[in-house]
Structure 1
Amino acid sequence: MHLTATTQFGLEELLADELYDLGADITHIGSRAVEFIGDHRLLYEVALWSRLSMRLLRPFAAFYAADEKALYREVSRVDWADFIGPDQTFAITAVVNRSTFEHSLFVAQLTKDAIVDQFRARTGRRPDVDTRTPDIRLHLRMSENEVILSLDAAGDSLHRRGYRQHTNEAPLNEVLAAGLVRLSGWDGKKPLIDPFCGSATILTEAGLLAQRIAPGLFHQGKFGFEHWYDFDPALWQQIREEAKSQRLEEPQTYLAGSDLDPKVIDMAAANITAAGLEDCIHLSVRDVKDAVPPKNQEPGIIITNPPYGERIGEEAGMAALYKTIGDTLKANFQGYEAFVLTGNLEAAKSIGLKTARRTPLFNGPIDCRLLKYELYRGSRRGA
């Protein structure tokens, strides 16, 4: 079957590598999406094991629709009884870009009308809409009036792992956090430290990777494909049991996080416990200027997402904060590699260390860069 996995901007190549390692036949790498071919086993394994997928889609129809009549007509040509039962609920997610239609909600509504009208005409009954927990979630993508209709195999976005019980004011998307870990090239063995750990999403994603824990095991409720006509419950149960057996119980590496706010650390601890990683991740209440590497450990990696100062009145203190970050890295973490995700490139100049690499990413709507620093002894200062 043809499948599409969506992801965050900047993670497409990493997602393609991840899918290939799972056995996918990659057919196209696009913007925020990777297309591939696989069977039901692969579909279920991607749902469980992919750390970088946001949505997992199964396209089944494609057409051109330049106006309302064309969209209604083409949607009506699909035999919807092949995908939705009259007693099932459904919902439609529409994404519209550079098309005649300006509003995605209108496109979703018109698509819904065409579907229920077909059921009424054929059977006198119709499936109900449930936007929160539908049995069947449909995905419609329209770009330059070209439409692709897909079944959403996940149901809910795969970034909602289910382990995050509490968040701070600006939680990091789990897929982005996993992407930062992958982009760092971390081997799962060296120490990994986050001195602005917040709700511990980076550390948790690193811990799941190191301990070989499938993130899909935390998925809340059923996956979308569990409501499909061709769902194979025996195969799904087998793959879930195989995934559970992969977990490594003994901690594989040293993971540590800190934050200045004790309440934030309490939230982080709850999330880590929900992920079953309480024996793998060390937390402390600490100012970034007091961050130190673990004793008797080889140099490792720092991955962190410090404040950007996007609120009014916060900008003034950002330069000083980022200078403190740079001073701490240089003084205390010689031999480490540091990766700093920031949406404030002006303040990041105050880190005062030479940037080895800049990777464009988005944290929600915020245009960011993942800045890499190689902390040699006597690290060179520069732009």
Structure 2
Amino acid sequence: MTDEIFEIFLATPPGLEETLLLEVMEAGFKRPETTGGGVTIWGDWRDVWRANLTLRGTSKVLARVGDFRAFHLAQLDKRSRKYAWGDILTKGQSVKVDVATNKKSKIYHAGAAVERIERAIAEEFGATIAEGLEDADLVIKARIDDNNVILSVDTSGDGLHKRGHKQAMGKAPMRETMAAMFLRACGYDGHEPVLDPMCGSGTFLIEAAEIARNMMAGRARAFSFERLATYDAAAVQSIRDAWQTRPSDQRFYGSDRNVNVIGSAGENAARAGVADMCTFTPTPVSSISRPDGPAGLVIVNPPYGARVGKKKDLFALYGAFGDKMRAEFKGWRVGMITTDTQLAEATKLPWLPTEAPIAHGGLKVKLFRTDPL
């Protein structure tokens, strides 16, 4: 394993960069800074492995592995052939290159740039080139900016929201990474109960329960970094072994009017190892009740009307939710994710000022939050 320090990019949906920065700083990574679509840190391969294994809010971890200048395609070809691909790649793995360019560079045709770099890797290193990004064992990201070619390797593989234990999903599911960031943005730190009255497949509650027990986010999945020449299995195992969970007796409550998703939520919680902390019931919003015990956080990702349900039919749902919160949940905080400010206002809850919208499945959503009611 090399101790060389390099830049590492931690991707997150635009709008969540500041929230991810808080998690990264709390985790003790070096030189964290927000940038468009994520946070950059500086570290070595051990930091790459730790970020993949432990961070809850990042969707990908990209390791910057090289850069050079190129003003035309022939130069790109030549310098790609001189790059020491064997320092990063291993024999027998299929590779795909993904290129992003901008108008500040003389090389502006991304497809032609992909072709040159892939041919260089195949002819100089002997790698097999995959048909598409989804088919590749390893993905090389090349960003050509102001004639600088910046090479990074995707060390995650499948998006990090795929924790490895959710098999059943409802409609328009919230990704685990986003759920973790929304929980953090609502001030949740694992030391209070959480209720989701439209819980779907249980994403918010499973994330909250895992945070309460300090369970390693990536404990149940594989990563692309395991296929790189820099991989040190013993060092990665030492990160796993050093991780400490904690006991928690917090409770997490999920309900949904859809009986089928309630069963799926329970199964997902069991696979995650938090079923003993979670209670799921087939209950409509109008019939939920305040749990016994201290106040906590209500978080909900209701239908927006854009994909699930029709907007005009949703005002009654949002209104019923707001009525229930005001009537029975005094002392609880509320967090709501929706695309539509009018729907949020239909709850008549005392929302705090909202932040920038966040990209979610081709839509722009906002997090609406209250202080304790």
Both proteins in one fold, TM over 0.5: yes
**Amino acid aligned to 1:15:** L
Distance 1:344 1:280, change over 3 A: same
Give the Cα separation in 1 of the matches to 2:262 and 2:270.
12
Quick one: which of 89, 93, 97 aligns to 1:84? Answer: 89
2:180 matched to which residue of 1? 178
The DSSP-based 3-state class of the residue aligned with 1:357 is coil
1:227 matched to which residue of 2? 227
2:39 matched to which residue of 1? 34
Shift of 1:128: 4.5
Give the Cα separation in 2 of the matches to 1:191 and 1:143.
47
Quick one: which of 2, 25, 28 aligns to 2:30? Answer: 25
Shift of 1:310: 0.9
- 1:52 is aligned to 2:70: no
Shift of 1:65: 4.9
1:347 matched to which residue of 2? 343
2:265 matched to which residue of 1? 268
Distance 1:64 1:323, change over 3 A: farther
1:317 matched to which residue of 2? 313
1:241 matched to which residue of 2? 241
- CA offsets per residue over residues 234-293 of structure 1, 9 Å max, x none? 1111222223xx223x54312111100000111111111110111011111111111221
Q: Point out the more displaced range, 304-313 or 165-174.
A: 304-313
The DSSP-based 3-state class of the residue aligned with 2:219 is helix
Q: How do 1:295-310 residues align onto structure 2 when only pairs under 5 Å count?
A: 295=292, 297-310=293-306
1:122 matched to which residue of 2? none
- CA offsets per residue over residues 77-126 of structure 1, 9 Å max, x none? 4222322244332223444566777775664344312321333xxxxx44
Distance 1:235 1:181, change over 3 A: same
1:115 matched to which residue of 2? 121
1:381 matched to which residue of 2? none
Give the Cα separation in 2 of the matches to 1:113 and 1:304.
48
Quick one: which of 6, 13, 26 aligns to 1:8? Answer: 13
- Contact in 1 for aligned 2:94/2:127 (Cα 8 Å): no
Show structure 1 runs of 5+ residues with no match: 120-124, 377-383
**Amino acid aligned to 2:335:** F
Give the Cα separation in 2 of the matches to 1:268 and 1:25.
37
Shift of 1:307: 0.3
Shift of 1:4: 1.6
**Amino acid aligned to 2:234:** A
The DSSP-based 3-state class of the residue aligned with 1:43 is helix
Give the Cα separation in 1 of the matches to 2:237 and 2:210.
21
- Contact in 1 for aligned 2:90/2:228 (Cα 8 Å): no
Shift of 1:57: 1.4
**Amino acid aligned to 2:119:** D
The DSSP-based 3-state class of the residue aligned with 1:169 is coil
Shift of 1:5: 1.2
- Contact in 1 for aligned 2:336/2:367 (Cα 8 Å): yes
Aligned residue pairs: how many?
A: 365
Q: How do 1:119-130 residues align onto structure 2 when only pairs under 5 Å count?
A: 119=125, 125-129=126-130
Q: Taking structure 2 as the reference length, what is the TM-score of the superposition?
A: 0.89
Shift of 1:368: 1.1
- 1:207 is aligned to 2:209: yes
Moved over 6 A (4+): 99-103
1:136 matched to which residue of 2? 138
- Contact in 1 for aligned 2:98/2:114 (Cα 8 Å): yes
Q: Point out the more displaced range, 94-103 or 359-368.
A: 94-103
1:379 matched to which residue of 2? none
Quick one: which of 182, 189, 192 aligns to 2:191? Answer: 189
1:72 matched to which residue of 2? 77
The DSSP-based 3-state class of the residue aligned with 2:335 is strand
- Contact in 2 for aligned 1:95/1:142 (Cα 8 Å): yes
Distance 1:99 1:156, change over 3 A: farther
Give the Cα separation in 1 of the matches to 2:253 and 2:144.
44
Give the Cα separation in 1 of the matches to 2:361 and 2:109.
20
The DSSP-based 3-state class of the residue aligned with 1:44 is helix
Give the Cα separation in 1 of the matches to 2:96 and 2:354.
39
- Contact in 2 for aligned 1:85/1:127 (Cα 8 Å): no
Shift of 1:181: 0.7
Give the Cα separation in 2 of the matches to 1:313 and 1:210.
33
**Amino acid aligned to 2:239:** I
Give the Cα separation in 2 of the matches to 1:115 and 1:97.
23
User: How much identity, in percent, do the aligned residues show?
Assistant: 29
Give the Cα separation in 2 of the matches to 1:98 and 1:321.
47
Shift of 1:156: 2.3
Give the Cα separation in 2 of the matches to 1:110 and 1:343.
42
Distance 1:239 1:171, change over 3 A: same
Q: Taking structure 1 as the reference length, what is the TM-score of the superposition?
A: 0.87
**Amino acid aligned to 1:117:** E
**Amino acid aligned to 1:26:** R
Shift of 1:14: 2.8
Give the Cα separation in 1 of the matches to 2:167 and 2:199.
15
